[in-house]
Copies of this chain bind each other. A is one copy, B any other.
Amino acid sequence: MSEPVFVTVLERKVLGKNDALAAANRRRLGEAGVLAINLMSAPGSGKTRLLEATLDRLRDRIPLCVIEGDVQTDNDARRIARHGVPVVQLITNGQCHLEAALVGEALDRLPLRPGILVIENVGNLVCPAAFDLGESLRVVCVSVTEGDDKPEKYPAMFRKADAVMLTKMDLLPHVEFRVEAVEEQARALRPGVRTLRTSAVTGEGMEAWCDFLLDRAGPRTAPGS
């Protein structure tokens, strides 16, 4: 066995301007009665699939809208639009995260009324953590096909998470993944974080997830009423 060697570097960015724009978004969303979710994960963790299953379950119970963030393509907005929910696609053209200014532009194009807005961030477990968008809740997804050391490897993302969702639970029998270990890491980084185990394929955990969202959104009038 050889001995590993360690080198460490430190870098911090000034984010003051983004924070001011995020505060403006938060005020605007709050005044409109919108619960805004910043949905984050690595690429391919199943955010869009989860979102599609969520829209189908909640569409008749509360007004919904979606902002899709991607480096490139409008694939995800097209998928969401099929579910009959207002959606804006933000294409960052190479930028690795959404910023508050861009989300503010999307808000101009959406019907803001009491309900839930889901902002699906760019697939990236690092950069989006540093950019407040004005959301009410931060939700981080980890699929069980990823390694089970993701929270400790990407701590900034999990330190600010209000909920951590384990996705693709239907694949658990086929992989080595310690569910409890990931949940423990998440709680160590953010004590009291809500953890959920879900599968958009089997529906596992989807009711608990939808109840969590409805509970946070508070009492509302039904859509169209």
Smallest CB separation, A84 vs chain B (Å) = 6
Residues of chain B within 8 A of A109, CB atoms compared: 5, 7
Binds B, one of A21-29, A31-39, A149-157, A209-217: A149-157
Residues of B within 8 A of A175 (CB): 171
Question: Given contacts A73-B153, A87-B2, A126-B96, is CB(A146)–CB(B44) below 8 Å?
Answer: yes
B6 & A74 in contact (Cβ 8 Å cutoff): yes
Contact A152 B2 (CB under 8 A): no
Nearest chain B CB to A25 CB, angstrom units:
14
Number of copies: 2
Check B4–A78 contact: CB distance below 8 A. yes
Q: Mark A125-167, 1 if CB is under 8 A from B, else 0.
A: 1110010000000000011011101101111100000000000
Are B81 and A3 in contact, CB atoms less than 8 angstroms apart?
Answer: yes
**Smallest beta-carbon distance A184→chain B, Å:** 15
Contacts of A123 in B (CB 8 A): 42, 125, 153-154
Q: Evaluate contact between B77 and A43: CB separation under 8 angstroms.
A: no
Q: Is the CB of A150 within 8 A of B105?
A: no
5 CB < 8 A contacts A-B: A4-B78, A9-B90, A42-B123, A44-B142, A44-B145
The 9 closest A-B pairs by CB, nearest first: A44-B146, A4-B77, A145-B145, A96-B126, A42-B43, A5-B88, A8-B91, A42-B42, A5-B109
